Amino acid sequence: MSHRNTDHRLDEIDRRILHALMDDARNTSASTLGAEAGVSGATIRNRIHKLEDAGIVRGYTTQVDFERAGGKLTNLYLCDVPVTEREARAHEARSIPGVVNVRTLMTGRRNLHVLAVGEDTSDLRRVARQLTDMGIHIEDEDLVEEELFAPYGPFDPDDGDRPPEPNDFISLTGDASVVEVTVRSAAPIADLTLEEAAGREILDEETLVIAIERDDRELTPHGDTVVRPDDIVTVLSRAGADADSLSAFRESQSE
């Protein structure tokens, strides 16, 4: 199956959203997730739409226990097809009544996995015959007893209590760095102009905001530009991307 290329870069909020959706999409609340991430519920909903538009979130699938739903049988067919025919055969296999999932593998034998549900064994034999008639060679098959799912661990915001990371990072000559970071709602710089932030020494002379992304718009920052929560700011830090240089955008000011 073809995969759409995307240059969408995931930041910590995107990863938090993906982890929550993979864990339990039905009960994921935008307002609750926003409160945990330090942004608004509207921002979470907007981020989800962007992830969907980018093809990163490709859908929401209900997991069904077919055995409990009428005593049906679930069978996995491990198939082998020529690499040049893999995508076409996958789409054909998906059209067979009873087939609920088709997975393609990049290389090797058994490069096409077909999951089907049937009322009985004769129903599953019908699926096997149709696969064979399509030119798909079945190497092995077996009844599925149980299937377990888990969200992707590295997207877990609480995994090891990791410190917040910059969205993107470029190291320049010497100690200078260009960092892209999302402004938290409780950040010291939130709702201040850049001039006010500099006057209060929230931004030091070594830190320069060179770009702001807001609601799909690119802003050129000036002294009277107000930094808003959820802005994605690009920062030139001559002192490097250490915790102190990013604290204005991420953390509440310490007493």
Q: In what side-by-side order are the strands of the sheet with 207-214?
A: 168-171, 177-182, 232-237, 207-214, 217-219
CATH code of the domain made up of 73-143: 3.30.70.920
- Among 190, 148, 17, smallest CA distance to 8 is for 17
pTM of the predicted structure, to 2 decimals: 0.61
Name residue 207's amino acid: T
CATH architecture observed for domain 7-62+153-162 = Orthogonal Bundle (1.10)
Contact call for residues 204 and 140 (beta carbons, < 8 A):
no
Contact call for residues 32 and 188 (beta carbons, < 8 A):
no
Q: Which parts of the chain sit beneath pLDDT 70?
A: 1-7, 159-176, 216, 238-245, 251-255
In whole angstroms, how far apart are CA 112 and each of 2, 86, 98, 100, 142? 14, 7, 16, 14, 14
d(CA 174, CA 225): 29
Model pLDDT, residue 1: 42
- Give per-residue pLDDT as tens, 62-98: 888 888 888 899 999 999 999 899 999 999 999 999 9
Sign of the CA dihedral 209, 255, 252, 240?
A: positive
Model pLDDT, residue 21: 92
* Domain 164-250 indexed as CATH 3.30.70.1450: yes
Model pLDDT, residue 254: 47
Q: Where are the domains of the chain?
A: 7-62+153-162, 73-143, 164-250
d(CA 220, CA 28): 35
Fold match flag (73-143 vs 164-250):
yes
Model pLDDT, residue 176: 65
Model pLDDT, residue 120: 93
What is the CA 16 to chain-centroid distance, rounded?
Answer: 8
Name residue 95's amino acid: S
CA angle 19-21-24, nearest 5°?
Answer: 105
d(CA 91, CA 134): 11
